[in-house]
Structure 1
Amino acid sequence: MFNKEALLQELIFKAIRSSGAGGQHVNKVASKVELQFDLSKSLVFNEEQKERLQTKLKHRLTKENVLVLQCDESRSQHKNKDLIIKRFLELINYSLIIPKKRIPTKVPKSVIRKRLKNKRNLSEKKANRKKPNID
């Protein structure tokens, strides 16, 4: 589908200070990792794949077609980097999947007959509840 190693070369990583509680350690260690991927400048994907990625990831892309992901789950920068790479690759793989075209099936004649028979039976049952017409 695509060259994973070449794709990983196009990624830009930034280490940022993680937010939230943590005391002095949080203020001096940049453990949060931000991943940036410029879809328009990518050489790994062809135009069709870029178009598909653009439509599938349109709510995640910036105006410049840059995908930005962040991870601060772990206190380790290396673990966060591994997690974000894994998440990015899953996202790209999922976005490149071409869904199968649905082929509508024909309703079997036996099903149609059964439905009409049930309809007729219900109609007769309700007709039998009426008072007889004595004229």
Structure 2
Amino acid sequence: MAITRSVSIDPNEIEETFVRGTGAGGQNVNKVASAVQLRFDLQNSPNIPEPMKRRVAALAGSRLTKDGVIVILANIHRDQPLNRAEAQARLVALLREGAYPPKPRIATRPTLASKTRRLDAKTNRSGIKQGRGRPRVDE
């Protein structure tokens, strides 16, 4: 399975287990194991470079086990092949998102005009709020 031009994973690294799904399906949902639980050992995958592993692990969040295995459960569809394709697509999307390092943020400063607009808005708002108070009686 191709992730990027330089990174691909072997389909043998993916372990799929079929379980009974929840949701729509009528009586069929109680009889057929249409949901897919996909497991991919990220930590021990030889095809993924170490910096990419760190980024993907951060993106995976709660889908990553303590052993470094990504677990994806797909039970949206009533059909097993559709759920299988959905789980694989979500894994590929996760790996593609972590394939490239995030673009570094370049710090910028606010312009003089934006500072002036902000301070004018604060002054205007302050006047509106002061006008809501109890009227002062000048002697």
Q: Provide TM-score, normalisation by structure 1.
A: 0.69
Say if 2:103 is the partner of 1:100: yes
Identity of aligned residues (%): 32
The counterpart of 1:22, out of the listed 2, 5, 26, is 26
Say if 2:82 is the partner of 1:63: no
CA distance in 2 between partners of 1:71 and 1:84 (Å):
5
One-letter code aligned to 1:22: G
Q: Which moved more, 1:65-74 or 1:25-34?
A: 25-34
Q: Which moved more, 1:10-19 or 1:88-97?
A: 88-97
- Quote the offset at 1:67 in angstroms: 0.8
Q: Provide TM-score, normalisation by structure 2.
A: 0.68
CA distance in 2 between partners of 1:58 and 1:27 (Å):
30
Structure 1 residues 68 and 107, CA gap change in structure 2 (3 angstroms): closer
Return 5+ residue gaps in structure 2 as ranges: 124-139
Equivalent position SS for 1:13: strand
One-letter code aligned to 2:12: Q
Partner of 1:42: 45
Query: Is the contact made by 1:33 and 1:80 (CA closer than 8 Å) also made in structure 2?
Result: yes
- Superposition pairs of residues 74-93 of structure 1, within 5 angstroms: 74-93=77-96
- Quote the offset at 1:107 in angstroms: 5.0
CA distance in 2 between partners of 1:19 and 1:58 (Å):
23
Per-residue CA deviations over 1:83-106 (Å, capped at 9, x if unaligned) read 111111111111233221122235
